[in-house]
Amino acid sequence: MTPFRNCPILALSLLATAGLLSACGGSDETPLPTLDGRAPLVVGHRGASGYLPEHTLESYTLAIQQGADVIEPDLVSTKDGVLVARHEPMLSGTTDVASRPEFAARKTTKMVDGDATTDWFVGDFTLAELKTLYAKIAPADRPQGNDGKFRIPTLQEIIDLAKAKSRETGRTIAIYPETKHPTFHIEQGLPLEDRLVKALVDAGWNSKEAPVFVQSFEPGSLKALRAKGLQVRMVQLIDADWVDFMTGQTTYDAIAWARPYDWTKAGDTRLYSVMVTPAGLAEIKTYADGIGPWKPYIASLKYTLDAAGKPRDMNGDGKLDWSDASSMAPTSLVADAHKAGLFVHAYTFRNEKRNLAYDFGGDPQKEYLLYFRTGLDGLFSDFPDTAVAARGAYLKEMGH
Ligand SMILES: [Ca+2]
């Protein structure tokens, strides 16, 4: 615990100048470089999805047990208009739907954000039907031992879990719902926004102080939520397609990751990259409280070149990819966002070697430390226990 938690943050610099920090119960701790001076948040990304099938009550519960401050449900709508947690409106990647003969005829093709997608869609199932499915872990190299055991949760069940765990642990467990493919849901006649506002109002959580962050890639969804009276903290997510490891620049080749789909649909040809400029941040500040950038916007990575100017296969596995590239110096994005009055929560932190830059030497803590030192306000992790341990190391380093 830091004594600064009890200090009005605006008074901190004055107190420091006057040598009066002890008035806050502290002495000589270095203030943290986050927007509010508090310790960065650990968000359990889809729960503790490195360990258990994502977006299940069991995965969220494990994240809370591992010390996550926040659990993160992605929201999609059932046919009967119930908000449930899935990363995408399709079901085959994270459930056993493909092995269920009673639903074989539901497989169909829909346009999702401009891409023809063949799968089973949440919006073609009632909640009662969805509740007969079992979740499975998505990446092939993560433990499959709990596949076929857990069900798909509703937003209401997740709100109830956060409240129950807050009472049980004495910590405040927040939720971080995302409106997933909001334009697609409007096209399907199943808009997410009204139902999300109602659920949060009914939960008694419609205020800036409520333990809720709402996130979306589509600015139109966040603006609609605000217009419908939602008062909670909102977060503009900022994506990119990939990184050009020769230059470290983010790339925008695939349309789905080049810009928000509501921009594409409206003929707005700007890219996500505009959002990280000072003008873009100022625009975001008119409707949101923070940004959720893909992490290379904060510290990108690039290949090491050999004498002939060719990228080196650093880990010698015969392939050239993310895990051969090394971290570059952090950009000014966190500082720029703070200047604009926006907090920054970056995604996504993962333990596997294939997901780590080469210079971290397979140690995820090194990656967390690089990011925490930029003043990052929070991060999404598939492995909340690792993130919490790394935050402890960071706080120790800062004298807390
Ligand atoms: Ca390699």
User: What pLDDT, in 10s, does the model give residues 270-307?
Assistant: 999 999 999 999 999 999 999 999 999 999 999 999 99
CB atoms within 10 A of CB 329: 8
Q: Which CATH fold would you assign to the domain 36-397? A: TIM Barrel (3.20.20)
pLDDT of residue 35: 98
Average pLDDT over residues 145-170: 98
Cis bond leading into 348, ω under 30°?
Answer: yes
pLDDT of residue 30: 81
For residue 354, report the distance from its CA to the centre of ligand 1, in Å.
9
Question: Which ranges in the chain belong to alpha helices (H)?
Answer: 9-17, 57-65, 127-130, 155-169, 182-187, 193-202, 219-227, 261-266, 278-285, 333-339, 364-372, 384-397
For residue 376, report the distance from its CA to the centre of ligand 1, in Å.
29
For residue 11, report the distance from its CA to the centre of ligand 1, in Å.
50
Q: Is the pLDDT of residue 99 over 70?
A: yes
pLDDT of residue 20: 38
For residue 300, report the distance from its CA to the centre of ligand 1, in Å.
17
Show the tokens assigned to 195.
Answer: 């139902």
In which residue ranges of the chain is CATH 3.20.20.190 found? Answer: 36-397
- Distance of alpha carbon 311 from alpha carbon 92, whole angstroms: 36
pLDDT per residue as tens digits for the range 381-394? 999 999 999 999 99
Average pLDDT over residues 341-351: 98
Asked if 44 contacts 383 with a C-beta cutoff of 8 angstroms, the reply is no
- Distance of alpha carbon 229 from alpha carbon 206, whole angstroms: 9
Q: Is the pLDDT of residue 210 over 50?
A: yes
Mean pLDDT of all residues in the chain?
Answer: 94
Q: Is the pLDDT of residue 345 over 90?
A: yes
Q: How many helices (H) and strands (E) does the chain have?
A: 12, 17
Q: Is the pLDDT of residue 18 over 80?
A: no
CB atoms within 10 A of CB 156: 14
For residue 245, report the distance from its CA to the centre of ligand 1, in Å.
12
pLDDT of residue 28: 60
Say which amino acid occupies 226. Answer: R
Nearest in space to 42 (alpha carbons), one of 61, 65, 62, 67: 67
Show the tokens assigned to 59.
Answer: 């995965």
Angle (deg, nearest 10), helices 193-202 and 155-169: 30
Nearest in space to 76 (alpha carbons), one of 154, 147, 149, 133: 154
For residue 389, report the distance from its CA to the centre of ligand 1, in Å.
28
pLDDT band of 95, cuts 50, 70, 90: very high
Assessment of whether the complete model's pTM goes beyond 0.95: no
For residue 309, report the distance from its CA to the centre of ligand 1, in Å.
16
For residue 324, report the distance from its CA to the centre of ligand 1, in Å.
5
Q: Is the pLDDT of residue 190 over 90?
A: yes
For residue 294, report the distance from its CA to the centre of ligand 1, in Å.
22
For residue 350, report the distance from its CA to the centre of ligand 1, in Å.
18
- Distance of alpha carbon 28 from alpha carbon 6, whole angstroms: 15
